[in-house]
Amino acid sequence: MASLATAALASSLLAACGGGDGTPQLNWYVNPDGVDTFRTYADECSTDDYDIAVQQLPASATDQRTQLARRLAAKDSSTDIMNLDPVFVAEFANAGWLQEVPEEVASKITDGGDYLEGAADTVTWDDTVFAIPLWANTQVLWYRKSLADAAGLDMSQPVTWDQVIDAAAQEGGTVGVQANRYEAYVVWINALVQGAGGDIVSDTEAGRDAKVDLDSEAGRDAAAVIKKLADSDARQADFTVSNEGTSLGQMFPADGPGEFMTNWTFVYANYKGLVGKPGGPADEQEFEDLGWARYPQTVQGETSKPPIGGIDIGVGAYSEHPDWAMEAAQCITSTKAQVDLAINDGLMPSTNSAYDEVASSGEFPEDLLELYRTSVDEGGPRPKSPFYSQISSAVQSVWHSPTSVDPDSTPKESARFLADVLAGKRLL
Amino acid sequence: MTSTTVAPDTDRKTRRTDKPEASDRARAENSLGMKLVAPAIFLMLLVTAFPMLRALYLSLYNYSLTAPEERDFVGIDNYVTALTDSLFWRDTLNTVLIMVVTVAVELVIGFVFAMVMHRVIFARGVIRTSILIPYGIITVVSGFAWQFAFSNNNGFVNGWLPLIGDDFNWFGQYGSSIVAIMVSEIWKTTPFMSLLLLAGLAQVSEDMLEAAKVDGATWWQRLWKVILPNMRSAIMVAVLFRALDAYRIFDNIFVMTAGANGTESVSFLTYRQVIEQFQLGIGSALSVLLFLSVLLIAFLIVKIFRVDLAAARQEG
């Protein structure tokens, strides 16, 4: 009787760990964008050997990172597959929380063939590939063609931040950015610094001894752009707390000429879905007035470095089924999956072949897709460091509020503070 | 006289001679008792002493969870870093401010509530329950409720306050943010204070109060000369518990401001170092400092009330 009860209990516990029929379950932790497509691919990529179960992470990148890190730090064997923001890969890999991607898969990512260079760059740490790119996000300059025309700005040529700010101010328009005290503000600062040929930090593989480069001409150029916008009439009312969503409504306002806005790729699908609705273009003709161009230059003549975002798929180091998890990771990052994510959810692919298929679907203007692809390929990643979180927080701490940024003092003060934080001599 | 002096002597002798006889059994019982409680003591040490010692150990390292190989022994450097950093002192002052203001306000309101609960004759159950309801609500939930209440978009506080504009943003600057946090904290934990004070009120002898009344003492005199001195230990326990609780404030700040506008507490600072930044070394050092601060506060409160006790006795 006792043995029967034990057997029943054991089988129910085993069933709880796997699928209903006793098949092992691989947990796939996903961020909330594109969850329906993820569920489809969890089903499609499940095999007779294992079922893939989608587990949803919190909405904010910071909370996603914290939750995954807490599981992995505790050597959680049920964290099999996970969606990672590119800036987490170095941190997680250096902590020993990610499986290395097998050589035959890794070489396809890094050989400069199908994968976009910017996307491939996000998954390597210490010359080893630790994740597989799923989608690659980037920022472009969105604008009203009528506003640029009125200001006499030739958008077929690269434009600078100075030109964009002056044009908007001259015509009574605005410039939308992300300047709240959060990660996206660092995305902007990093793009400005890299666009001027510099870096926030370099030699990041040296860990705490990474070289802090912010106190440089590039740092001062970046600060000058922020100061110019902060002092300009083109600054939006909520400039100091602005985020990805706040400036969307300024593109097609009830009054006024609209705006220039640096923002991620979701913007096109957003306005397309809002034609005739509040916050969107009044009609198709007004939607046609939406323009896009490469991310503005920090310094005239110096190629801009558009920000890189997206999601990489990592396999947990403590997974009980590492081989199956890696197999599943390849399946859920397939070209077909990337195309579906782009078409269903507006999340752009990380490979050229997927881009070609998205282009042939006719869902997006070809020149826009080409702009995305080039921006990812030639974009600038944020610093890859096991101390990225500290780097980001330290930069935010000194550079916020953007209205207090001064090219003469902010980069110098920020560099000193960041170096002290990395050395463990200051609190954040 | 002789018999009275002899009797206790014999008594003492008897006790002394009895002791070895009883001690075998007592020793056996003690030994059994020790064996029985040993697992519990071991478990308690495991769950309390181990993390504390581990934190103490980690605090001597410069150690990030994401760079395990770069772990360096730095001795007391983390403590020096924390104690010389203006951020630590700003957060400490903030925490002390929250502790002093909330405990003082709660002591007064809590005492009034305790008096009401003690003296109320009709609808006693309903009144006592109503007063205690906020304490039954989870702090995070009350934090969200007060955040909505103070919101300049859909909150009711701006509408209720006569001198405040409808669009006043409570969470836009330090002063009003900290007030909102303290209001939420006071609302949530005053019932706890009043419960402890109610227990103290119940210990005040009605005979003494009656005697004071007969002697012509006014209500105010009875309060200051009879009720409060007799409640001293209950007040000390209430102040001690709430002060320690208030010094560890985290939930309300986390929910209402997330530490913005300099409203961070020492607990929040520690949380950020350990959970957000994965800096186990400096985070552990901050935890140890937090623990020592709590010990210091407990020591000071016990000390202060003892001084008062002595003073009261001299006056008496």
pLDDT of B247-291, one tens digit each? Answer: 999 999 999 988 888 899 999 999 999 988 899 999 999 999 999
**Which two tokens mark A176?**
């939308």
- Provide Rg for chain B, Cα atoms: 26
Q: Do B88 and A427 touch (CB under 8 A)?
A: yes
Set of chain A residues whose Cβ sits within 8 Å of the Cβ of B278: 69, 91, 389
Cβ atoms of B135 and B189 within 8 Å: the answer is: yes
Size of the A and B interface in Cβ pairs below 8 Å:
64
Set of chain A residues whose Cβ sits within 8 Å of the Cβ of B65: 69, 73, 95
Q: Do B74 and A424 touch (CB under 8 A)?
A: yes
What CA–CA distance (Å, rounded) separates B123 from B132? Answer: 14
Best residue of B278, B286, B287 to probe chain A, by most A CBs closer than 10 Å: B278
What CA–CA distance (Å, rounded) separates A346 from A268? Answer: 9
- The pLDDT tens digits for A393-408 are 999 999 998 999 999 9
Question: What are the contacts of A66-73 at 24+ separation with CB within 8 A?
Answer: A66/B275, A66/B276, A67/A29, A68/A29, A68/A92, A69/A95, A69/A97, A69/B65, A69/B66, A69/B278, A70/B275, A72/A97, A72/A316, A72/A317, A72/A318, A73/A97, A73/B65
Looking at the complex, does the CB of residue A113 fall below 8 Å from at least one CB of chain B? no
Least CB–CB distance from A428: residue in B62, B68, B277: B277
Cβ atoms of A93 and A317 within 8 Å: the answer is: no
Cβ atoms of A175 and A239 within 8 Å: the answer is: no
Q: Kind of pairing, strands A259-264 and A174-176?
A: parallel
Q: Do A428 and B278 touch (CB under 8 A)?
A: no
Set of chain B residues whose Cβ sits within 8 Å of the Cβ of A400: none
Least CB–CB distance from A96: residue in B68, B82, B279: B68
Our CA angle for A265, A134, A110, nearest 5°, is 110
- Residues A222-247 as b/e (b if ≥16 CB within 10 A, e otherwise) read bbbbbbbbbebebbbeebbebbbebb
- Closest CA relative to residue B112, chosen from B48, B188, B198: B198
Cβ atoms of B273 and B286 within 8 Å: the answer is: yes
**Which two tokens mark A37?**
């497509």
**Which two tokens mark A74?**
């505790």
Looking at the complex, does the CB of residue A208 fall below 8 Å from at least one CB of chain B? yes
Q: How far is A95 from chain B (nearest CA, A)?
A: 4
Looking at the complex, does the CB of residue A13 fall below 8 Å from at least one CB of chain B? no
Least CB–CB distance from B66: residue in A95, A393, A428: A95
3-state secondary structure of A222: helix
CB atoms within 10 A of CB A50: 20
Which pLDDT score is estimated for B312? 44
Average of per-residue pLDDT across B190-196: 94
Q: How far is A415 from chain B (nearest CA, A)?
A: 17
Residues found in chain A: 428
- In DSSP terms, A287 is beta-bridged to none
pLDDT mean across residues, chain A: 92
Helix (H) or strand (E) holding B245: helix B232-247
Residues found in chain B: 316
Q: Is the pLDDT of residue B152 over 90?
A: no
Set of chain B residues whose Cβ sits within 8 Å of the Cβ of A72: none
Looking at the complex, does the CB of residue B213 fall below 8 Å from at least one CB of chain A? no
Helix (H) or strand (E) holding A175: strand A174-176
Q: Is the pLDDT of residue B3 over 50?
A: no
CB atoms within 10 A of CB B141: 12
Set of chain B residues whose Cβ sits within 8 Å of the Cβ of A181: 260
What CA–CA distance (Å, rounded) separates B150 from B241? Answer: 28
**Which two tokens mark A302?**
């110096």
What CA–CA distance (Å, rounded) separates A82 from A14? Answer: 23
Set of chain A residues whose Cβ sits within 8 Å of the Cβ of B274: none
Which pLDDT score is estimated for B22? 60
Task: Find all residues with CB under 8 Å of B138, minimum gap 6, and list them.
Answer: none
Q: Do A427 and B67 touch (CB under 8 A)?
A: no
What CA–CA distance (Å, rounded) separates B66 from A389? Answer: 10
- The pLDDT tens digits for B27-51 are 899 899 999 999 999 998 889 888 8
DSSP at B64:
B
Cβ atoms of A220 and A214 within 8 Å: the answer is: no
DSSP at B185:
H
Q: How far is B85 from chain A (nearest CA, A)?
A: 7
**Which two tokens mark B10?**
């014999």
What CA–CA distance (Å, rounded) separates A80 from A43? Answer: 16
Q: How far is B90 from chain A (nearest CA, A)?
A: 12
Q: Is the pLDDT of residue A165 over 60?
A: yes
Which pLDDT score is estimated for B258? 87
Which pLDDT score is estimated for B11? 47
Identity at A348, one-letter amino acid code? M
3-state secondary structure of A49: coil
Looking at the complex, does the CB of residue A69 fall below 8 Å from at least one CB of chain B? yes
Which pLDDT score is estimated for A21? 67
Q: Is the pLDDT of residue B121 over 90?
A: no
Identity at A25, one-letter amino acid code? Q
The distance in angstroms from the start CA to the end CA of chain A is 60
Q: Is the pLDDT of residue A12 over 60?
A: no
Average of per-residue pLDDT across A163-169: 97
Least CB–CB distance from B65: residue in A95, A424, A425: A95
Helix (H) or strand (E) holding B62: strand B61-62
Looking at the complex, does the CB of residue A37 fall below 8 Å from at least one CB of chain B? no
pLDDT mean across residues, chain B: 87
Distances from the Cα of A243 to the Cαs of A189, A195, A263, in angstroms? 14, 21, 9
- In DSSP terms, A315 is beta-bridged to A81
Average of per-residue pLDDT across A288-292: 96
Average of per-residue pLDDT across B68-83: 93
Cβ atoms of B107 and B301 within 8 Å: the answer is: no
Peptide bond into A401 cis (omega under 30): yes
What CA–CA distance (Å, rounded) separates A146 from B265? Answer: 50
Q: Do A69 and B68 touch (CB under 8 A)?
A: no
Q: Do B70 and A91 touch (CB under 8 A)?
A: no
**Which two tokens mark A35?**
């969850």
List the 276-295 stretch of B: residues with Cβ below 8 A of A. Answer: 276-279, 281-282
Looking at the complex, does the CB of residue B255 fall below 8 Å from at least one CB of chain A? no
Which pLDDT score is estimated for A393? 92
